Amino acid sequence: MEDFSTSTGEKGDQNRKELAGQNLGIIALITAIITFVLAVIPCVGIIALIPGIIAIILASVGLSQASGSNSPRGILIAGLIIGVVATLISFSQIFVAGKIARHAERKFPGDIQNIIRDVRQDVLKDLEDASISIKVESNGEIVEIKADVKEKRIDKLQELEEGEIQPPDTLNKQESDSLK
C-alpha cells in the first residue's frame, strides 16, 4: 500500500514536471494569436501592444519553468514568437499613427496659407470686375459717380489704341472754359 502511494506520487510529480509551463504556454499562445489579429487592424492595433507584452511575459515565464524539466516547449516558443511579432506590428501602428499626425501638422499650416491666398485672389478678382455706382442728390442736383473698373480699363485701352482719347492729364474743353 505504501509502495503504491509512493509510486503514484512519483508519477504525479513526473507528470507535473513534464507539463511545467504548458498551461502558461497555452494562455500565451491564445493571447498572442488574438493580439496578432488585433495588431493588424488599424483601429485597435495600438491597444494590441498591451496583450502582446502580456503574451511575451507569459511565454517567457513558461519557458523558464520548462527549462528545468523535460516538458515540451513548442507551444511556449510559438507563443513567444507570435507575441513578439504581434507586439512589433502593434508598435509599428503607433509609429505610423505618429507619422500621419506629424504629416498632418506639417500640411495644415500650408493648407491655411493656400486658402488665404485663394480668398485674396478671389477678392481682388471680384474688385477688378466690380461695377460701383454712387448717386448723391442734394437740392435738386444729382451727382452720379460710376466706376466700372474692368470696362473702363478695356475701353481706355481700346480708345488709346484707336487714338480717340487724349492723355488723361488734359481737361475737357468745357471744363477749361469754366476755369477761365
CB count in 10 Å sphere of residue 45: 21
H helical segments located in the chain: 2-18, 22-40, 49-67, 74-129, 149-162, 173-179
Q: Which residue has the cell 459717380?
A: 145
Query: Facing residues of 145 across strands?
Result: 134
* CB 3, min distance to other proteins, A: 24
* CB 34, min distance to other proteins, A: 6
**For other proteins, which is the closer residue by CB, 25 or 52?**
25
Dihedral in degrees, nearest 10, Cα atoms 57, 61, 66, 69? 170
* CB 113, min distance to other proteins, A: 19
Q: Which residue has the cell 491666398?
A: 117
> Which of 83, 105, 103 is closest to 34 using CA atoms?
83
* CB 143, min distance to other proteins, A: 57
**For other proteins, which is the closer residue by CB, 56 or 79?**
79
**For other proteins, which is the closer residue by CB, 26 or 165?**
26
**For other proteins, which is the closer residue by CB, 70 or 166?**
70
**For other proteins, which is the closer residue by CB, 101 or 123?**
101
* CB 37, min distance to other proteins, A: 8
> Which of 123, 135, 13, 118 is closest to 69 using CA atoms?
13
Residues near 151 by beta carbon (within 8 Å), at least 6 away in sequence:
131
* CB 61, min distance to other proteins, A: 17
Interacting residues with other proteins (CB under 8 A): 18, 22, 25-26, 29-30, 33-34, 37, 40-47, 75, 89, 92-93, 96-101, 103-104
Give residue 33's identity as a one-letter amino acid code. Answer: I
**For other proteins, which is the closer residue by CB, 92 or 170?**
92
